[in-house]
Amino acid sequence: MKKLFKKNEIYTVRIEDITDLGFGVGHIEGCAIFVADTVMGDLVRVSIIKVNSGYLVGRMIELIEASEARCTSRCTESGCRSCAYKNISYSDEALKKEEGVRRLFSRRELSVPVAKIITSPAETRYRNKAQYPIARVGGRYTVGFYAPKSHRVCPIEDCPLTPEVFSEIVALCLSHFEKHSLSVYNEESGEGLLRHIYLRRGEVTGEILLTIVVTSFAFPHADELVASVRERFPQVVGILLNKNSEATNVILGDEYKTLYGVPYIFDVLAGVRLKITAQSFYQVNRTACELLYAKARDLAAPTKADTVLDLYCGAGSIGLSMARDAGEVIGIEIVESAVECAKENAVANGITNASFFTGDAANTERLLEAAERKIGKRIDPDVVILDPPRAGCAPELLSFVASREPKRIVYISCNPKTLARDAELLAALGYKADTVYPVDMFPMTGHVESVVCLTR
Which residues are part of the catalytic machinery? Answer: 414
Nearest Cα residue to 51 out of 36, 24, 32, 38: 32
How would you label 80-111 residue by residue, b for 16+ Cβ within 10 Å and e otherwise?
bbbbbbbbbbbebbbebbbebbbebbeebebe
Strands 129-137 and 194-201: antiparallel
- Report d(CA 75, CA 313) in Å as an integer: 34
Q: How wide is the angle at C-alpha 378 spanned by C-alphas 372 and 381, nearest 5°?
A: 100
Nearest Cα residue to 384 out of 441, 435, 431: 431
What is the sign, positive or negative, of the torsion defined by CA atoms of 298, 304, 307, 312? positive
- Report d(CA 300, CA 322) in Å as an integer: 9
- Report d(CA 299, CA 436) in Å as an integer: 11
Strands 354-358 and 272-277: unpaired
Contacting residues for 226 by C-beta, under 8 A, at least 6 apart? 239, 259, 260
What is the helix (H) or strand (E) element at residue 21, kind and residue range? none
